[in-house]
Amino acid sequence: MLALLYFILHLGGWQYASQRLLATHPHWVRITAGLVLATVALMWAPVPFAFLLGFTPLAHGLGLALSLGLAAGLALYAKPLAANPALDYQALARSLLWLGLPLLLLMAYLLHTHLIQPSPAGLDVGQSTFGDLQMHMGMVTSLAHQQVFPPDYSILPGQRLSYPFLVNLVSSSLLQLGLPLRWALLLPSLLMCALIVACFMLLALEVSKDSRATELATLLFFLNGGLGFIYFFGWHEYTFGQILTEFYKTPTNYNEMNIRWSNVIADMIIPQRTTMAGWSVALFTLWSLLRFTRASGADKRGWGILAGALVGLLPMIHTHSFMAIGLISLGWLGVDLVVRRQHWLTVIADWCWYGLPAIAVAIGQLLYWTFPQATAGGGFVHWHLNWVNELKIDPYLWFYLKNIGVVYLAWLAALVLLAHSRWRSQLGGLLDSDLAWLQFGPALIYLVAEVLIFQPNLYDNNKLFYIWYVFATITASALIITLYRRWRQQQRYLWAAAILVLSLVLGTISGALTLAREWVSNYNAYSGAHVAAAEFIVARTPANAMFITADNHNNTVAALTGRNIVVGTDTYLFFHGLNTKQRHDDVAAMYQDPERRAALLAQYQVDYIYVSDFERGRYPALSSLFGAYPVIFDNGAVQVLAVSARARSSSTTPAE
């Protein structure tokens, strides 16, 4: 199949490049690097040609040629980058098998059950994908079918799509080239989940220099959760059993009790495709950036260019990851200038190998997509202290302790120990000066995310906090493993066992319960009648047709067919800073007001009217439509009415 060939050729070309670029690294590191670079290429390669040719098969062919040419050039001319000889990569390879692989299999199962799984009822999803997935599917299908580039919002035509959409572009490519929608979503998602696990463990080893600390950090990161479980053991109205049955009443998502620290697998990676793509690139980029800070000579230049190019490509993959790495970079640059007291000219010259590629690659994306939307209507950026601690105004430390739990407490303790060289040297173990100066970058993320918001939804600052959390879990794990080993050495076995067991149990129980809820969750997103209507629309209407529909978030026309609708749900659009009130009022008039209907249908160039249970519930006075426009599809539950001349001519024979 053409789609699979396109996918495999990207992966193969960049595997060849990574085998040469990281020739001194273990084989699994080279494979991981090649997959990361191929993922970036899949997202970006068609873009330059799509601006000129549209999002067409020709643009994909030229993009593939560009991708393979760049991979070949890198393999032929780049100088191999040195590995860190102090690290035990073989031990980490074993950890990937016994720990990383089960985590990936868990994610694979959740993807299987959560990404429009066919069922007798239609298309089913899980709890976490009942919401945002529908928005992403609309981007995938509209870009694939309409082939317009740069794309508009299909749920707000005429408004440029400035949301980071490149993860959906990959699925659009696969859909256009022949894969079914479900597999166009699944295939890149499986790849990106594998990369998140592998790159997290690679970064954790680079930071901690210890395979056991890496394993603990991996468990605490992917099974993350704080003390929210206490509310389900008789402390509040919900019981333990209701975790598995209620919608978003889990120990990591319990807003009524100010529990807001979502599990990264259940609520960030599986449902939030931009986060999934962003982390699959950002974690590898952070590893490359850290290698840059520790290298010298030609190696420093090579790592700097690699990390800088990847950072520069992040804004339209995941803007929050781009911002977070930018803040970390500032913190680590400050370390070189102030803490290490290196000559400022030497430092600036070295950092230019990283900074200049990053700025050169990112600036076009920021000016064309990010800044215009972020500054619309007065801008997104505002001062706001204490993130989302508003519902009950918990004391500051208690809010973070009950949300983040063991990791937050251990991270604070580690900061205190790392800040005092005498305490640090007395304790020994994994707490060294290198780990101490690394804290400046992530701490800057924490500070900025605590005092500024960057979008209308306060909660979205968690996408910054989670990059801080990557380093917080590694630092916390370094302290826990250090204490465990010290107490074992002192034959204080009870203390050693207690800190390890309590850290694992208290640090993962809330996350494990949340994942259990996701495992059993099932919701019907699209009934069989809606799926049949979508199949008719794809087969019998122009790709750029305009529909009016209700504003339900699981919108069949937008998500499954890629056709434009006059306006979609504010669940998505409001939080992208877009004002839709007038359009919502006009859609209501088109359904219910015969006197205004004709003029508004002409104004919005509407081709079709979609009528289903959602529209009947939202616009009860729509019956006059059926005498005014021909019904070209009717399966009892869903009707499609033709409005424009081209709509009537393209669908002259009603479907059975």
| Statement to judge: residues 552 and 403 lie in one domain | no
What local confidence, expressed as pLDDT, does residue 235 receive? Answer: 64
| Statement to judge: residues 502 and 529 lie in one domain | no
Residue 455: inside a domain, yes or no? yes
Q: Evaluate if residue 391 carries a pLDDT over 70.
A: no
Domain range enclosing 644: 525-650
Instruction: For 530-591, give the DSSP string.
Output: HHHHHHHHHHHS-TT-EEE----SS-HIIIII--EES---HHHHGGGT---HHHHHHHHHHH
Q: Evaluate if residue 655 carries a pLDDT over 60.
A: no
Q: How many Å separate Cα 118 from the centre of its chain?
A: 24
Beta bridge partners of 523: 125
Q: Evaluate if residue 109 carries a pLDDT over 90.
A: yes
Q: Which tokens is 222 given? A: 């992917």
Q: Evaluate if residue 130 carries a pLDDT over 70.
A: yes
| Statement to judge: residues 501 and 386 lie in one domain | yes
Residue 236's pLDDT band, with cuts at 50, 70 and 90, is low
DSSP designation for 519: H
Residue 427's pLDDT band, with cuts at 50, 70 and 90, is confident
Residue 274: inside a domain, yes or no? no
What local confidence, expressed as pLDDT, does residue 656 receive? Answer: 36
pLDDT in tens, 74-93: 999 999 999 999 999 999 99
| Statement to judge: residues 588 and 471 lie in one domain | no
What local confidence, expressed as pLDDT, does residue 529 receive? Answer: 98
Residue 62: inside a domain, yes or no? no
| Statement to judge: residues 453 and 545 lie in one domain | no
Q: What is the mean pLDDT of the chain?
A: 94
What local confidence, expressed as pLDDT, does residue 653 receive? Answer: 47
What local confidence, expressed as pLDDT, does residue 654 receive? Answer: 44
What local confidence, expressed as pLDDT, does residue 517 receive? Answer: 96
The total of other beta-carbon atoms located within 10 Å of residue 377's CB is: 10
| Statement to judge: residues 383 and 474 lie in one domain | yes
Residue 579's pLDDT band, with cuts at 50, 70 and 90, is confident
Residue 577's pLDDT band, with cuts at 50, 70 and 90, is confident
Instruction: For 2-60, give the DSSP string.
Output: HHHHHHHHHHHHHHHHHHHHTTTS-HHHHHHHHHHHHHHHHHHTTHHHHHHH-SSHHHH
Spell out a b/e string for 348-360, using b for 16 or more CB atoms within 10 Å of the CB, else e: eebbebbbebbee
**Of 448, 478, 508, which marks where a domain is finished?**
508
Kindly list the distances between the CA atom of residue 388 and the CA atoms of 34, 320, 384, 461, 510, in Å, as whole numbers in the listed order. Answer: 38, 17, 9, 9, 19
| Statement to judge: residues 556 and 494 lie in one domain | no
Q: How many structural domains does the chain have?
A: 2
**Of 482, 508, 534, which marks where a domain is finished?**
508
- Whether omega before 315 lies within 30 degrees of 0, making that bond cis, reads no
| Statement to judge: residues 595 and 557 lie in one domain | yes
| Statement to judge: residues 591 and 489 lie in one domain | no
pLDDT in tens, 12-70: 999 999 999 999 999 999 999 999 999 999 999 999 999 999 999 999 999 999 999 99
Lowest mean pLDDT among 63-77, 242-256, 267-281: 242-256
**Of 474, 508, 542, which marks where a domain is finished?**
508
What local confidence, expressed as pLDDT, does residue 418 receive? Answer: 94
Q: Evaluate if residue 392 carries a pLDDT over 90.
A: no
CB 20 within 8 A of CB 80: yes
Mean pLDDT of the 267-271 span: 97
| Statement to judge: residues 594 and 532 lie in one domain | yes
| Statement to judge: residues 473 and 529 lie in one domain | no
Residue 380's pLDDT band, with cuts at 50, 70 and 90, is low
What local confidence, expressed as pLDDT, does residue 379 receive? Answer: 58
Residues 6+ apart with CB under 8 A from 439: 415, 418, 471, 475
Residue 422's pLDDT band, with cuts at 50, 70 and 90, is confident
Residue 344: inside a domain, yes or no? no
What local confidence, expressed as pLDDT, does residue 456 receive? Answer: 73
Of the chain, the percentage scoring pLDDT greater than 70 comes to 97
Q: Which stretch of DSSP H or E encloses residue 639?
A: strand 639-642
Instruction: For 76-100, give the DSSP string.
Output: HHSPPPPP-TTS-HHHHHHHIIIII
What local confidence, expressed as pLDDT, does residue 186 receive? Answer: 98
Residue 519: inside a domain, yes or no? no
Residue 386: inside a domain, yes or no? yes
Q: Could you tell me the CATH number of the domain that includes residue 542? A: 3.40.50
Residue 5's pLDDT band, with cuts at 50, 70 and 90, is very high
Q: Evaluate if residue 394 carries a pLDDT over 80.
A: yes
Of the chain, the percentage scoring pLDDT greater than 90 comes to 84
Lowest mean pLDDT among 119-128, 230-239, 646-655: 646-655
Residue 612: inside a domain, yes or no? yes
| Statement to judge: residues 498 and 449 lie in one domain | yes
CB 365 within 8 A of CB 315: yes
What local confidence, expressed as pLDDT, does residue 457 receive? Answer: 74
Residue 432: inside a domain, yes or no? yes
pLDDT in tens, 143-152: 999 999 999 9
Beta bridge partners of 547: 565, 608
What local confidence, expressed as pLDDT, does residue 289 receive? Answer: 98
What local confidence, expressed as pLDDT, does residue 426 receive? Answer: 82
Mean pLDDT of the 505-514 span: 97
What local confidence, expressed as pLDDT, does residue 86 receive? Answer: 92
